[in-house]
Amino acid sequence: MKDASAYPEKAIALEREACRLREAGQIEKAFAAYDEAARLYRDHKEPLKSSVCFAAVATCWNIHTGWQPLNRAATRNHMTADEAMKAKNFDYARSPFREAALLYEKEGDYKNYSICYSDSQRAGRKRSWGMCFGRTQMDSDIGVGSDLSFRQRVDSFFMWFFSFFLMSFEDTESALYALWGWPGV
C-alpha cells in the first residue's frame, strides 16, 4: 500500500500546482493535477475535499473545451455530487447532480441523465429529512449555527413527503387518487 503519511502533502501540493497552472492558462495540466488530487482524497476517504477537487476538474474541462464534449465534465460533476453525498452535504450535492444531468442530456446519454436527475431528487429528500428530523441546526440557507424553527421543520416535512410521495407515482392523477380518493381534474 502507498505511504499514507505522504498523501496529504502530495494532494495539497497538487491542488496548489493546479491553481497555479489554471492561473497561467495551462488548463489541461491543471485538469490533470486537480484530477489526481481528487482521486487521492477519494482513495483516502476524504469525500468533501474530493468533491471540491472534482468540481474544479469539471470546471477546467469546461474551460478547455468550451463545453464540448460534455461527457468528461458531466462525469466529473457526477463524481463531485457522489463525494458530496458521502460527506452528507446533501444541499451541495443537488447542484452538481443537476448540472451533470443537464450535460448528460445534451450529450444524449439518457441513462446517466436519469440517474443524475433521480440522485438530485434523492439528495433533496435527504436534505429535507435531515432538516425535519435529524439536525437541530442548518448549515447553509439560514447561516451556520442557526436553529431551525418549528415552521421550518414542518415545511421540510412537507417538502420531503410530497417529493417522496409524488416520485412513487407515474403521473399526478395517480398521486391525487391515492391521496384524496378522486382522479383529479
C-alpha to C-alpha distance for 33 and 28, rounded to whole angstroms? 9
Average pLDDT, the chain: 77
C-alpha cell at 153: 421543520
pLDDT band at 165 (very low <50, low <70, confident <90, very high): low
Domain ranges in the chain are 1-66, 94-185
Q: Does the pLDDT of residue 12 top 70, yes or no?
A: yes
CATH of 1-66, one of 3.40.630, 3.30.460, 1.25.40, 1.10.3470: 1.25.40
pLDDT band at 54 (very low <50, low <70, confident <90, very high): confident
Residue 147, H or E segment: strand 146-147
Looking at residue 145, its pLDDT comes to: 43
What contacts 60, CB < 8 A, 6 or more positions away? 18, 22, 27, 30, 31, 34
Of 43, 104, 46, the residue nearest 73 (C-alpha): 104
Residues in a beta bridge with 146: 138
C-alpha to C-alpha distance for 94 and 50, rounded to whole angstroms? 16
Write out pLDDT tens, residues 66-116: 655 677 888 889 999 999 999 888 888 988 999 999 888 887 788 888 899
